Structure 1
Amino acid sequence: MLQEPATRYQGHRSYSYLEPHLDYQDFDLALEVGRVPEHDLELSEAQRQRVTRLLTEHIAISLHEHPVVLPADVRQLRTYNRTARQRTGYEGLARSGLTAVFDNFMAGASCVTSENGWKWNDLVYALGMRLSDLYKQDHVRLATSVGDIRAAKRDGRLALVAGLECCSPIENELDRIDILYGFGVRQLGIAYSQANMLGGGLSEPRDGGLTHFGRRAVDRMNKLGIAIDVSHSGDQTCLDVIEASRVPVLITHAGARSVWNTARMKPDDVIRACAERGGVIGIEAAPHTTLSEKHLEHSIESVMDHFTYCVDLVGIDHVTFGPDTMFGDHVGVHDTYAGNYAHDSGPKPSHPRVQYVSGLENPGEAFGNIVGWLVKHDYSDDEIAKVIGGNTLRVLEQVW
């Protein structure tokens, strides 16, 4: 459910201050608005107005996105990513109703540019390039504090929090965490599915847990004020990180394994441990992840099955949303980089393959539809305010 464009948005397009083909390689890009049919929640006019009011009155934070615009022809994706000049979806974000978005600048597999995996130089290049464009417009602003998020709400802007899904590029150099903090990064994932110097990934047949270096890294993140994410970590590593951290830990984008039994989802004990230490779980919506037996065809309905389960398990104060979406063919991204992704070892019951997740296809529409679903299912204003941003703000005030 798209909102009216933000009044602060003046139509900026990424790198429009440069000359295409001369200063950078140009691509035909996917549509940010209207690429797929709008999902119909069958809301009444009064319900639609309530959705708009809630997004207007309350801070809404997407805990995990990749709000970049992909090439219209996904076969160009590898070439596009190698330029490091990914385009930010300003037009779509301006219609999202969001106050803040956690932008994970390097997707776990899609920014790997060689068989040797994550590279520090690749990371610095991609981060700097995206931020250089961010500073050339006046709607989306880099946020490094809770105050920045609150100021964005007050000023009609959108706060962008820089995050990374994986600490692999820091290798065994602890001070690189400080460097990332200096660049404005305020959220780091421990491992992206495969093990690294810090700990185990969810695809490993045996998870050795958080390493000694990993414990030092967690301590450094705590001292600096960087939020820690364990979405792609192995179960034991998740528990170790939660135990080692002096502040709450985030599961920015996952679901419940009790609802859909794959390693990409989190078991009850990890979700409980996260909540007991004050953290939150953001419900994931990337294609073919948060499925459910009740809704085998991936859509907002199967995603919300994970939401309701987690609320029942740990309470509404510890659940939010990290849809993990992009502007463009997300299924095509997975297909293009299938060899880079580490597959989990859980059972994979047959389910219909979708071309996109209806209702949660991109960062522009996701939160409008999430709030619409919550309104349709009679959640109170206070409950909706918590799960769309209030719970995340509570954690960030402790972490940052």
Structure 2
Amino acid sequence: MVMTPQKGEVKSRFVKNYDGYQSFQYLTPGKHYKPFQLPQSEKYRQTVEIKLEEDQERVFETFIKYYPIVSLRDHGFVVPKKQEDIIPYCRQLHTAFNYEGLALSGVDILFENFMDGISILTSSKGLKWDDVILTLGIRYCDMAKQNTVFIAKTYQDLLDAKRTNRMAILPSLEAASILENEVDRVDVLYGLGVRCMGITYNEANTLGSGLIEKRDSGLTKFGHKVVERMNLLGMVVDISHCGDQTSLDVIEASEVPVFITHAGARAIWNSPRMKSDEVLKACAAKGGIIGVCAAPNTTLSSKNPNEHTIESVMEHLEYLIDLVGIDHVGLGLDTFFGDHVGLQHAFDDMLSLSESHGEDFKESSYVKGLENPAEATKNMIKWMIKHDYKFQDIQKIIGGNALRVLEDILD
């Protein structure tokens, strides 16, 4: 169990400013919202300890202390301890956000979608306009009460994170389904701080086809309008959950590089959730960045389909480097706190998660070595150091590549 520091205390050079704030502590549980039992001693569980030599440890410390670390997708979200509580928990505004866990992560810049895909506040199916707006508002309210993270809107905000020893949250949305047929809603979202948005989730919407659709008809006319508006405003276009043809169409339509914030290579694990070589190479050719994912049961490997570990995730990363080059790869691990697989099961029918994962594998209950944000990114860095990656290559992967492209998009 991680001890909570006193107000104003920084526990070590590996931890962001954290003053002990707990999510919604200004309210009274039971009076202002319904409390649910959350994981306690397990919430920072370390599943793999990567031990470094003394000189390697100094290299690791250098990255943590001096180099901006970017996660293209992770979450402060906390899943309730009991499986049966997940759906009712997500039907209320006050779901927990783990500021202490994020402070431990080593990440400086976080693309955070606030779990908009499972916000079911006003509907039973999620990905609705009212649900997303309410979710953004309540998160911003809670964040206004603490000093660990802040909402980033500009490129300079991203650079300020390291300097101020805080985490810059870049508000992102999983999918643009909430736009329906209203292109001006993109402007509204930008005004509310959103700086990255996926085009589709797993199923098709008014913009294009999701990755589970049997027939991918590509980016729609409305989808073209949305991509154009996002380009004009300075919003990152994300194709992580798009079908192949829609992905290719988005890359072609966009005037600026496109991101695949959290995915992997289909050549390593043949499932709809992974990206084809054609899409990966097209993304890189346009100057885009591909973040390797580590959500359970996604970036598996055909070499070992029965266990999801840091080794299989790194197999995807190394394949991406060989395929598109070191300048187009980043980290988008897509972790959060608590039972990730339990949440997948709870929302499977609504979000078609099992269809996106594919078939013929033994389900992993977590990703060994990358179980939550408190261990995931640091373990990725340590793994690369231990495997003799060049210093400058690690620097690119952990943030340099993403920041290079973001500088042109956000400002």
Cα distance in 1 for partners of 2:189, 2:73 equals: 18
Change (3 A) 1:42 1:99: same
Determine whether 1:353 maps to 2:359. Answer: no
Q: What is the aligned partner in structure 2 of residue 182 from structure 1? A: 191
Could you list the per-position Cα deviations for residues 340-378 of structure 1 after superposition, in whole angstroms to 9, with x for gaps in the alignment? 122576894533322210111111211100000000110
Determine whether 1:165 maps to 2:174. Answer: yes
The share of aligned pairs that are identical, in percent, is 47
Which 10-residue stretch deviates more, 344-353 or 388-397? 344-353
Helix, strand or coil at the partner of 1:366: helix
Equivalent position to 2:400, from 390, 393, 398: 390
Helix, strand or coil at the partner of 2:195: strand
User: Structure 2 counterpart of 1:138, which letter?
Assistant: N
Deviation at 1:390, TM superposition (A): 0.5
Could you list the per-position Cα deviations for residues 41-88 of structure 1 after superposition, in whole angstroms to 9, with x for gaps in the alignment? 243343233222212110001001122111122321111111122221
Determine whether 1:241 maps to 2:241. Answer: no
Equivalent position to 2:334, from 319, 324, 327: 324
Equivalent position to 1:25, from 7, 25, 34: 34
Query: How do residues 88-167 of structure 1 correspond to structure 2 at under 5 angstroms?
Result: 88-109=97-118, 111=120, 114-167=123-176
Change (3 A) 1:86 1:346: closer
Q: What is the aligned partner in structure 2 of residue 65 from structure 1? A: 74
User: Structure 2 counterpart of 1:332, which letter?
Assistant: G
Q: Is the 8 A contact 2:152 2:168 kept in 1?
A: yes
Cα distance in 2 for partners of 1:269, 1:51 equals: 34
Helix, strand or coil at the partner of 1:306: helix
Deviation at 1:18, TM superposition (A): 1.5
Which runs of 5 or more structure 2 residues have no equivalent in the other structure?
Answer: 3-10
Change (3 A) 1:104 1:117: closer
Alpha-carbon RMSD across the aligned residues, in angstroms, is 1.9
Helix, strand or coil at the partner of 1:228: strand
Q: What is the aligned partner in structure 1 of residue 7 from structure 2? A: none
Q: Is the 8 A contact 1:81 1:111 kept in 2?
A: yes
Query: How do residues 41-52 of structure 1 correspond to structure 2 at under 5 angstroms?
Result: 41-52=50-61
User: Structure 2 counterpart of 1:39, which letter?
Assistant: V
User: TM-score scaled by structure 2?
Assistant: 0.93
Change (3 A) 1:58 1:367: same
User: Structure 1 counterpart of 2:141, which letter?
Assistant: S
Equivalent position to 1:286, from 295, 298, 303: 295
Cα distance in 1 for partners of 2:116, 2:53 equals: 37
Cα distance in 2 for partners of 1:113, 1:74 equals: 21
Cα distance in 1 for partners of 2:357, 2:235 equals: 34
Change (3 A) 1:115 1:21: closer
Could you list the per-position Cα deviations for residues 253-274 of structure 1 after superposition, in whole angstroms to 9, with x for gaps in the alignment? 0000011111110000100010
How many residues align? The count is: 399
Helix, strand or coil at the partner of 1:339: helix
Deviation at 1:104, TM superposition (A): 1.1
Deviation at 1:166, TM superposition (A): 0.5
Helix, strand or coil at the partner of 2:374: coil
Q: Is the 8 A contact 2:47 2:370 kept in 1?
A: no
